[in-house]
Structure 1
Amino acid sequence: MPDEMSENKARSLRGELYYAFSPEMAKERYRCHAAVERYNNAGDVSRRKRVELWRGISGDPTQLPPQTAGTTEDEDEAQFTHDPIIEPPFHCDYGTNILLGSGVYINFNCTILDTCRVSIGARTLFGPNVQLYSATHPLDPEVRRGTEGPEMGGQITVGEDCWIGGSVVVLPGITVGKGAVVGAGSVVTKDVAPYTIVAGNPARKLRDVPRGTKAEVTSGALAALERDQAREKSLRP
C-alpha cells in the first residue's frame, strides 16, 4: 500500500501555501536534480536511452517497448516517434509534476519550476530558454522569510499545437490555449486564448493564428521530404 501523501505536499499540489524546505520536499528535489544531471550529462546516447532517462525524471513507470534482436538503431528509434523530445540541458524542481503530450518538442535550456502540475499538450513546440514558473512566493516579507517561510504555486497548462518562442516566461496559474503562438521574449501574465498570437511584456494579443493554409503542400516542402525518403529507401541494401 503506497504511503499516504503528507498534508504539506498535498497543499503544494493544490497551489496553497506550503513549506518547500521540509525534509520531504527537499528529498524529492534532490532525487529530481540527480535524475536531471544524468539526463543532461548522458552525451551521445540512443533515443531509447534518452527516453528512459526522461522517464526517470518524470517518474513515468511505463515500460519501454521491447528491443527486438536484429533490429537496427533506426528501427528501434521508430518505436519512440511519439515520445516527447527534450533537448539538454533541461532543468526542473520535481519532474513528477510535468506532463508532456505526444510529439512535444522542448529546445535547449528549458526551465520548469513544477511546484504544481505543468501540462504541455501534444505537438507543442518550445524554442530555447523557455521558462515556466508554477512556483511563486507571498508578497508579505514577514510571511515569506526566505527558506524558512512558506511558498505557493499555480498550475500551468499549455494546450495542444502551440508554439512558444525562445526565452518566453510563463507565470503561475496561466493557461495557453490550443494552437496559440507566443512571440519570443514574451512574459505571459494572463491566459492566452486559443488560436491567437501574443507577444510583449506583458504579452498582448496581436492577431489570430492563420489556419487552413496547407503551406506544407503549396510550398513543395512535403513533396521534397517524400522524394528524399523514397531516395533513401532505394539506397538501402
Structure 2
Amino acid sequence: MPTETERMLAGEPYDPSAPELVADRERARDLARRYNATSEAEGREALLRELFDAVGDDPVVHPSFRCDYGYNVAVGDGFFANYGCVFLDSNPIAFGDRCLLGPGVHVYTPTHPIDPEERATGRERAEPVTVGDDVWIGGRAVLTPGVTVGDGAVIGSGAVVTDDVPDRVVVGGNPARVIREIE
C-alpha cells in the first residue's frame, strides 16, 4: 500500500495530516527558519542545498522564504528569488537556468476538491509546476498547480497563471493572458 508521501508525489489524493508529511513539513520549516536567520557569510547556500532537491550554481534566495517540503524544489544555475517568496511544493516545482523572481512570488502545487463534502475529508491533490530557462516572474505573481511556463517568458507583476505559458511571451492579469510575443 502506498504511503501518503507516495500518493502526494503521484498526484493522487493524500492526507496532508499524515505523520510522515507533518514531520517533513516541520523539517522544511526548521531549515527555512535557519536559512532566513543566516547571512551569506554564515553559510546560507549550504542550508538551501540541504533544503532543496537540486540547486544550480550561484543561487540567490532572499529571506524571508517559505516552503512546505523543500525536497520537491529544484532551481537551475543563476536562480534569483527576491524577498518573501513562497513555494507550496507538495509536488515538484522546477525552475530552469537564469530564472528571476520578484518579491512575493507564490508557487502552488496543492489543490483541494471542488466538491464540499469531498473537501471536508481533508484530502488534497498536487500537480507539478515547471518553469523553463530565462523566465522573469514579476512581484506578487502566482503560479497555480499544474502550469508550465515556457523558456524566455515574462510573467507580469500580480499575474495569476492558471494555464500553461508559451515560450517567449509576456503574460499578465488575472487570469493571466498573453499580452504580446517577445521578438
TM-score (norm 1): 0.74
Deviation at 1:45, TM superposition (A): 3.6
Pick the structure with greater CA Rg. Answer: 1
2:60 counterpart of 1:85: yes
State the 4+ residue runs in structure 1 displaced beyond 3 angstroms. none
Query: Pick from 58, 62, 70: which aligns with 2:52?
Result: 58
1:190 corresponds to:
163
C-alpha distance after superposition, 1:125-183 (max 9, x if no partner): 000000000111111121212xx521111100010000000000010000000000010
1:158 corresponds to:
131
Query: Pick from 36, 39, 43: which aligns with 1:40?
Result: 36
Unaligned runs of 5+ in 2: none
Deviation at 1:7, TM superposition (A): 2.8
Which whole-Å CA distance do the structure 1 matches of 2:102 and 2:64 have between them?
13
Residue aligned with 1:205, SS: strand
Which whole-Å CA distance do the structure 1 matches of 2:102 and 2:53 have between them?
24
Q: Which amino acid aligns with 1:167?
A: R
Residue aligned with 1:198, SS: strand
Query: Pick from 134, 137, 156: which aligns with 2:112?
Result: 137
Unaligned runs of 5+ in 1: 63-79, 211-237
Deviation at 1:197, TM superposition (A): 0.7
TM-score (norm 2): 0.95
Deviation at 1:55, TM superposition (A): 1.5
Query: Pick from 158, 171, 177: which aligns with 2:150?
Result: 177
Query: Pick from 157, 168, 178: which aligns with 2:141?
Result: 168
Deviation at 1:6, TM superposition (A): 4.5
2:181 counterpart of 1:208: yes
How many correspondences in the alignment? 183
Q: Which amino acid aligns with 1:24?
A: E
Identity between Structure 1 and Structure 2 (%): 43
Deviation at 1:59, TM superposition (A): 5.2
Q: What is the root-mean-square deviation of aligned Cα atoms in Å?
A: 1.7
Higher helix share: 1
1:18 corresponds to:
14
Which whole-Å CA distance do the structure 2 matches of 1:121 and 1:207 have between them?
22
1:111 corresponds to:
86
Is this contact kept in 1: 2:76–2:96, CA < 8 A?
yes
1:7 corresponds to:
3
Higher strand share: 2
